[in-house]
Structure 1
């Protein structure tokens, strides 16, 4: 570690029970008869990695409930209660099961909605690619088929004339109906995923219809029903599946389920395994960014009108990373009209996913670096930081600016020198009450970003906590940021961190033992 940027270590103790460990991977199939779409009668229970997930939970499931689904990679199960169960049955189960050894959380299987607003007037011309200077970027690259954008949404009409060339032999997976065909069930009703896919990667320069932002490959993870809603478990499973399939970008034009540990773990899993999650801010017109966009690892997108003012429906807030055109965006459709214009943060999000794919066609970037590059190369359109983040995303800047060199004129102070420094510390946790605390002294004045990463043992569950502006390590009950997936691969990213005092870091052993490394990357 740099002598100018030391990590100061402080060890202290915390009581935690030891656990026996077993290893698993993969997504289990849904139980036959499991209903598609929202699953309001289910509780999701997350269990520490390498504990037998089903065994750890099923002994505590009441007789009128049953385990109906399991995701071994994200280490959770879904417990279904009968609809006629007493109102407090689920609450009693959550209270009881979260006290059990090895259980990290229990929460409702929240419902998420597609984030779009239908608009009757049609624009005869496509304006979104021009507004983000994609046409200029295309002088450098149309995008590479080696880059994959996964659309986790409604099903995609993958035989659409402007989409078929972007799909390979395996179009994706249907998490709603649990089969290998993500094609929409009812074309007249299920158009959202197709519209989103066309914005991100409708085939450009093919003498057909519209031009998408990039010619990236597409992958469809159908997780929303014909009605545009879907459960946390289906969406989380789709994010994990897309990551394991090698998707470079996952587009989430959905939200409304609030904070859930299951979705947070899926987004963290994607980020630590090389996939950038791009998510819609929400369509309530409020200063409240929806989840999953509000998770620290996700790139949150607000929507602009054609005149580059904030769209009246767009949510906004300090979590916004970039803005993009979202009103009256023309794209692919599922019926005989083939193309329609609709509005929403759902439409702004795939614009950013397409720009991310263009950038990846030119540069090899980890998710956190790609996110920062899109912020660095964004253009200030005169809105507040809460409304535009670093600014309106710009495709031409993204493909012509060397990552880390700054550039752009974003609205929140990004676009500086782009210099970065890295410090590391290593340790071992083995006792049942082990944890290590550190403080990190800043290298730059007013750093634009800091990323804290934990790389722990594969057969253990270590968690990461961070505090700003305190000068001392956090505790597991008092912290500003927490990453506690069910394994030992954790990441916390903070934009414009508070540098008034040293950054506080805690590595906590939840189960298992072994060596770990903490890496802090600070960007000017």
Structure 2
């Protein structure tokens, strides 16, 4: 699958394959300087012995290799050689390590790196990012404005300082009042703004919280000031969002029971390339709420910070993923922030991860759905509570599909 190179945030070599890096200098003996160019390094460990590591390893080294680093205390050396010799050298040393002799292991001298941390001042108050490994994803990408997340809800307060940078220039549509202003009618209509902030509040913008990624937000108002919405408005909103090119459609709503009209709207969205992501419901029921129960939706349950099913979360066979849903800090109308809990929040976390994943990989909606599930972390609770597991942004972004 092709990687989106333009949004890659790597500044160091990957910890995979054979990669030459500058060595750790502690407890090091004097060795030749490393050569620049296409050289490769392996770390070779030695068994407990009174001999120096380089004395142990040298007899096993093919021509053209040299020791560039040695640590007597830990008993290893770094061996450098031309890239074209990598197979020969690795085979020779690996064979030596399998003979129960003085060579105990062979491994690439790869790299680790500091995990990215955004400059958003409320980032340290957010419990979701460490739980879903977002910093590892941010090492690669902070998101892409070419990826659109539609929020079908009470409307999004685009004027919030943490949302305005990721708001779509053509803001959306209000299916409740049938106009082109999808903002909440009152500040009490805050559910949609909270959902939007979780998925795509500005990351690294020096303001408030950090969303999952810098995707573009498309507001579709289909719920009124009481948080209720007619099936027709929601279905029309889904269809409209798909027509606008939404990549992800967040549905933090439900409870009205199956509907053929909604089924048609969801099928239309999927046929037009969108991935609907829906909240499982918050009545602690063993039945997943509709529309999350529809097979066209990716159904999300909510976990507490201890990675167990939240007491309020619905569960059942339809659950495909789990995400943090308890005590989630996000944006509300004005310039404020609030902590809220619910499967609504969990669904938005997954929508944000989906958007971040699309900023790194070119995937169809079905490929995206499978990739999100394939890169989860099993948290040890029943499958009907977590599906394939806890969504992991770092895995989703760094693991090739």
Asked whether the two chains share a fold, i.e. TM above 0.5, the reply is yes
Q: Which residue of 2 aligns with 1:226?
A: 225
Any runs of at least 4 consecutive aligned residues in structure 1 with deviations exceeding 3 A, and if so which? none
Give the conservation status (yes or no) of the 8 Å contact 1:379–1:393. Answer: yes
> Could you report, residue by residue, the CA deviation over 1:342-389 in whole angstroms, capped at 9, with x for unpaired residues?
000000001000100111111111111111100000000111110000
CA distance in 1: counterparts of 2:130 and 2:148, whole angstroms: 22
CA distance in 2: counterparts of 1:335 and 1:306, whole angstroms: 28
Q: Which residue of 2 aligns with 1:261?
A: 260
Q: Which residue of 2 aligns with 1:346?
A: 344
Q: Determine which structure has more spread, i.e. the larger CA radius of gyration.
A: 2
Q: Specify which of 349, 369, 372 is matched with residue 371 of structure 1.
A: 369
CA distance in 1: counterparts of 2:241 and 2:384, whole angstroms: 30
Q: Which residue of 2 aligns with 1:292?
A: 291
CA positional deviation for 1:163: 0.3
Q: Map 1:209-248 onto structure 2 (within 5 A).
A: 209-248=208-247
CA positional deviation for 1:123: 11
Shift of the 124–341 alpha-carbon distance from structure 1 to 2, 3 Å rule, reads: farther
Give the conservation status (yes or no) of the 8 Å contact 2:157–2:334. Answer: no
Structure 1 or 2: larger helix share? 2
Structure 1 gaps, min length 5: 1-121, 404-524
Q: Which residue of 2 aligns with 1:169?
A: 169
> Could you report, residue by residue, the CA deviation over 1:311-341 in whole angstroms, capped at 9, with x for unpaired residues?
00000000000000000100001145x1000
CA distance in 1: counterparts of 2:123 and 2:282, whole angstroms: 21
CA positional deviation for 1:168: 2.6
What is the TM-score normalised by the length of structure 2? 0.69
Give the conservation status (yes or no) of the 8 Å contact 1:203–1:210. Answer: yes
CA distance in 1: counterparts of 2:268 and 2:257, whole angstroms: 19
CA distance in 2: counterparts of 1:319 and 1:368, whole angstroms: 16
Is 1:277 the counterpart of 2:276 in the alignment?
yes
Give the conservation status (yes or no) of the 8 Å contact 1:123–1:341. Answer: no
- Give the count of matched residue pairs: 280
CA positional deviation for 1:270: 0.5
CA distance in 2: counterparts of 1:295 and 1:402, whole angstroms: 28
What is the TM-score normalised by the length of structure 1? 0.53
Shift of the 225–194 alpha-carbon distance from structure 1 to 2, 3 Å rule, reads: same
Aligned partner of residue 170 in structure 2, secondary structure: coil
CA distance in 2: counterparts of 1:252 and 1:282, whole angstroms: 11
Aligned partner of residue 359 in structure 2, secondary structure: helix
Q: CA RMSD in A?
A: 1.3
CA distance in 2: counterparts of 1:193 and 1:168, whole angstroms: 15
CA distance in 2: counterparts of 1:131 and 1:137, whole angstroms: 12
Give the conservation status (yes or no) of the 8 Å contact 1:151–1:220. Answer: yes
Q: Map 1:152-163 onto structure 2 (within 5 A).
A: 152-163=152-163
Give the conservation status (yes or no) of the 8 Å contact 2:280–2:313. Answer: yes
